[in-house]
Structure 1
Amino acid sequence: MNRAWQAQSLLLGYPDATLLNNVSLLSEVASTLDAAVGAPLHRFLQHARAAEPIRLAEDYVATFDQRKRCCLYLTYYAYGDTRKRGMALLRLKQAYAADGLLLGDEELSDHLSVVLEYAAAVPAKGRALLLEHRAGIELLRLALRDMRSPWADVLESVSATLPPLRSPAEVAKLAAQGPPEERVGTYR
């Protein structure tokens, strides 16, 4: 899964010139993967090749930066914008550092592309993190599929590297409730 997670990580990052210059290499990697994992990556890569770079970048921003349903920050699904999320981000950053991976300030530690890159470098621990956020990943996959986003194929590939959800009701509950909100100054 290392190659799959690394390729998925790159494809879920902002589609800059570096990514677009590596589409052929990523296509070669996708060809080495099982069909359930590689075929969706090929579909996305075909889209990336055909799209104008500026349009691909605009679609990325419109999809991931302007829609809460399509949030790439995994702890958002469990914690919303609460203090608990800050602690979860810190725990992730510390886990990466303990394994020798120093995270810069360009991206938060819970961004799916960062978690996938970690999984590619430290498979057992990275897989555990992906499984911990499996319901959020599935919610993101469904949101992208519903809006017919080309990135739905990348999430389809990610899901194919993980076991099916044990409780699909967990995704439905997460979707219905939405992310938690901070309740500062209120008593229960």
Structure 2
Amino acid sequence: MSQKVRVTYLAAAWCLSYPDDELLARVPLMRSALGEFGGALAPFEAVLRQFETMDLMALQGQYVQEFDLGKRHALHLSYWTDGDTRRRGEVLGAFKKVYRGSGSLVNTHGELPDYLPMVLEYAATVDLAGGQALLQQYRPSVELIKFGLLRDKLPHTDILAAVCGTLPGASPLDEQAVMRMAGHGPPTESVGLDPYDPRLLPMKGA
């Protein structure tokens, strides 16, 4: 079971990353690895099919539109719990501490350490238990990303659902249930970044 989880996490990390030639070359590997486990391939099918059929520039433009130009599907986990407050710096430091504690060199690829694909790759390739602990700690963030993708009818929804399915307990049925699970209330100390989507106000605490 742990091997299936590792494969799921690594494939999810890749599918949620900015597409390039290297990523597209990995599609057969992802199909083969996921196909070894019953049902593991299905949540990835729609995204992998896009990788196989769409022009790379179109894929890149779509990714920027959906994941970079706004916060609706922000992939940085602490954004959803701490927003753009000064406390977020402490949270990011805690992520770095986890990575350093593993004794392995973790390449951040220029991203903040709470970047979901990075956490997934860390869990898949370095420390499954430690990575899952981070995902569980930030379960509300992962669930809110999933609901945002679902609302916009993006194929990555099923991938987020597959990740949530590896964590203890059932997923909340809606965003309100996620907020009740985490304790809802927007941070008040802004440091001047983009305003939040009013439907997805960040939550206090992790």
Q: TM over 0.5, yes or no?
A: yes
Spell out the pairing of 1:21-36 with structure 2 (5 A cutoff): 21-35=25-39
Cα displacement (A) at 1:10: 1.1
Cα deviation per residue 1:56-105 (whole Å; 9 max; x = unaligned)?
A: 11111111112312000000000001111111111101110110233345
- Matched to 1:154, the amino acid is I
Partner of 1:16: 20
Which structure 1 segments of 5+ residues have no match? none
Q: Distance in 2 between matches of 1:183 and 1:28?
A: 45
Q: 2:42 aligns with which of 29, 39, 44?
A: 39
Q: 1:152 aligns with which of 154, 157, 178?
A: 157
Q: Distance in 1 between matches of 2:99 and 2:61?
A: 31
Q: 2:8 aligns with which of 4, 14, 24?
A: 4
Cα displacement (A) at 1:33: 2.9
Corresponding position: 1:123 with 2:128: yes
Cα displacement (A) at 1:118: 1.2
Tell me if the contact between 1:144 and 1:152 (Cα under 8 Å) persists in the aligned partners: yes
Which structure 2 segments of 5+ residues have no match? 192-206
Q: Distance in 2 between matches of 1:166 and 1:146?
A: 15
Partner of 2:115: 111
For the residue of structure 2 that corresponds to 1:72, the secondary structure is coil
- What TM-score comes out, normalization by structure 1 length? 0.87
Cα deviation per residue 1:129-172 (whole Å; 9 max; x = unaligned)?
A: 10111111111111101111122232122122223237964424
Q: Distance in 1 between matches of 2:154 and 2:75?
A: 14
**CA 1:124 to 1:62, structure 2 compared with 1: closer, same or farther past 3 Å?**
same
Q: Distance in 2 between matches of 1:76 and 1:25?
A: 32
**CA 1:27 to 1:80, structure 2 compared with 1: closer, same or farther past 3 Å?**
same
**CA 1:34 to 1:179, structure 2 compared with 1: closer, same or farther past 3 Å?**
farther
Corresponding position: 1:171 with 2:174: no
Partner of 1:92: 95
Q: 1:61 aligns with which of 64, 68, 73?
A: 64
Q: Distance in 2 between matches of 1:34 and 1:82?
A: 43
More helix by share: 1
How many residue pairs align between the two structures?
Answer: 183
- What TM-score comes out, normalization by structure 2 length? 0.80
- Matched to 2:95, the amino acid is L
